[in-house]
Amino acid sequence: MASTTTTPAHRPSRRSDIIEAAVRQFARKGFVDAGIADVANDADVVATAVYYHFSGKEELFTAAVQYVFESITAVVSAVRDVGTASDIDTLDRAIDAVWQWIDDHPDEATLIHLQLPGATPQITTLRQEFEALHVQRAFGYLSPTTTRARPSAARRAVETLSVRTLVDLLIAVHTMRLADGPLSREKSGKLRAAVHDLSRRLVAID
């Protein structure tokens, strides 16, 4: 009698499918209203397959948000790794790359810009870590004349305020241009040009 091979009911390869489905469902329904069954249906798996990878909705939501944050970080890292232009040109490329990514990934953008506030304590930590990473990276965008060997306390305070304002600006502008936000009806090209101009002013602090 010939032996048969049975495919495991819960293949590890489905984990990424489940996370991507979770991004869509949480973005469209929110953390409270989206359920494990919704995610399972979207991913075309049974609910037990979701529980095979995740203990529950909160862990799944955390994985979805982390996936989006890591995707954005990868987009920024890709343009920063080019390393053939000035710091301000790198900033311009980063703005354009993330802008295009947001346009191409509406569910991911909605998830992190509209569905995160107050969701879970884990999400608050993830967001803080994400923002801290990009604030630290933003010091590299400062014009060369501002990055002195040992800046004074006052200079360091100005630099810190500048880069934090820059990161807050770049996060906020995407929130405001999504869905029915206050910038949603502005022409993308005109708005992006304004963001470039303001960002350049923030890093040229001499």
SS3 6: coil
Q: What are phi and psi of 4, to 5 degrees?
A: -120, 150
Q: How many CA atoms lie within 13 A of 29 on its CB side?
A: 17
| CATH fold of the domain at 59-203 | Tetracycline Repressor; domain 2 (1.10.357)
- For residues 40 and 50, the answer to whether their CB atoms sit within 8 Å is yes
pLDDT the model gives residue 112: 87
Query: In whole angstroms, what is the distance from residue 78 CA to residue 138 CA?
Result: 15
* CB 71 within 8 Å of CB 62: no
Q: What is the pLDDT of residue 150?
A: 64
Instruction: Kindly report, residue by residue over 35-76, the tens digit of the pLDDT.
Output: 999 999 999 999 999 999 999 999 999 999 999 999 999 999
Confidence of residue 119 (pLDDT cuts 50, 70, 90): low
Tens digit of pLDDT for each residue in 156-202? 899 999 999 999 999 999 999 988 889 999 999 999 999 999 999 99
pLDDT of residue 10: 46
Judge whether residue 118 has pLDDT over 90: no
* pTM assigned to the model: 0.85
- Residue spans of the domains in the chain: they are 59-203
- Write out the H or E segment, with its range, that includes residue 205: none
